[in-house]
Amino acid sequence: MLNLIQNMAAVFTALFILAGHPMVMAYNIESMPWRNIQLKHAAEGFGYRVIQHSDSSLLVSAPLEQHGVDRRGRVYQCQVSDSSCSPLQINVPPHGVNMSLGLSMSKTETSTKTMVCGPTIPKECEGVTLYGGMCFSIDPLHSGLQEGPVPASLEACKDTDIVFLLDGSGSVAFYQFSAMKTFVKNLIRRLLKPYTLFAFVQYASYTNIHVKFNQFERTRWEYQLDRIYQTGGGTRTAGAIRTVVYVLNED
Ligand SMILES: *[C@@H]1O[C@H](CO)[C@@H](O)[C@H](O)[C@H]1NC(C)=O
């Protein structure tokens, strides 16, 4: 299926070139103000997020740079004038383990401060790893004054409701879909506690919400799962994830 689409894309591209309109659009791009910023050492993910921090400097993140056993992610302050960068000293507390600092970085129009976040702090909770995160705010007007982290501590383990998103598209064979359901069953058996809830969603060309959290039946959930038949069709993953977020946010 995927191959077919790729082949079709190739055909369309070819047609497009053959039928190319003779009109040409031109832009005049001045190269003088360009800056090529490079670090002297390799920093994984460098450039993932770039924020104009002040009139004369940028913040550039390298969220995958491992610079200590439990330290992942670093943010650099780079000078526009000479493209030099130095790591921003952010006081990450000891529990900010492997947080991928700088994976998310933003600034609002109304504030001079930049928010720098690391959202991948792993926490082992009885068989599942939950990911938490924290953010720091940095103010260039007050010589890089930092606030945070927000939140100051990580959430304790608590019962977690889980939604399973099953890929029921045509590229998944019948036996694979069935293996998927077996996997889900085994996982639920391990995680099922008096208050935990589960939801089952299948996606292909369309997303099917089979069982919402409030429809989960503690005594009949295996039957609820058995009853889900593979729909087949395309693979609209993004739409499915959107639907799941909606299911999660329902009461
Ligand atoms: C943090 O990541 C490093 C590199 O992947 C790994 O060796 C280390 O065990 C991780 N630490 C924790 C607590 O997960």
The domain locations on the chain are 50-150, 162-250
Nearest residue (CA) to ligand 1, atom 1: 70
Q: Is the CB of 98 under 6 A from ligand 1?
A: yes
Residue 8 has pLDDT above 60, yes or no: no
Q: What are the tens digits of pLDDT across the range 173-213?
A: 999 999 999 999 999 998 888 888 999 999 999 999 999 99
Give the mean pLDDT of 118-138: 89
Out of 1.10.510.10, 3.90.180.10, 3.90.79.10, 3.40.50.410, which CATH number does the structure's domain 162-250 have? 3.40.50.410
pLDDT higher at 238 or 158: 238
CB 130 within 8 A of CB 157: yes
Q: What is the total residue count of the chain?
A: 251
Q: Is the CB of 224 under 6 A from ligand 1?
A: no
Nearest residue (CA) to ligand 1, atom 11: 70
**Among the ranges given (51-55, 140-144, 196-200, 219-223), the one the predictor scored with the smallest mean pLDDT:** 140-144
CA of 122 from ligand 1 middle (Å) equals: 9
Local structure of residue 225 (DSSP, 8 states) = H
> Using 50, 70 and 90 to split pLDDT, how confident is the model at 5?
very low
If one counts every other C-beta atom within 10 angstroms of the C-beta of residue 143, the result is 6
Residue 10 has pLDDT above 70, yes or no: no
pTM of the model: 0.68
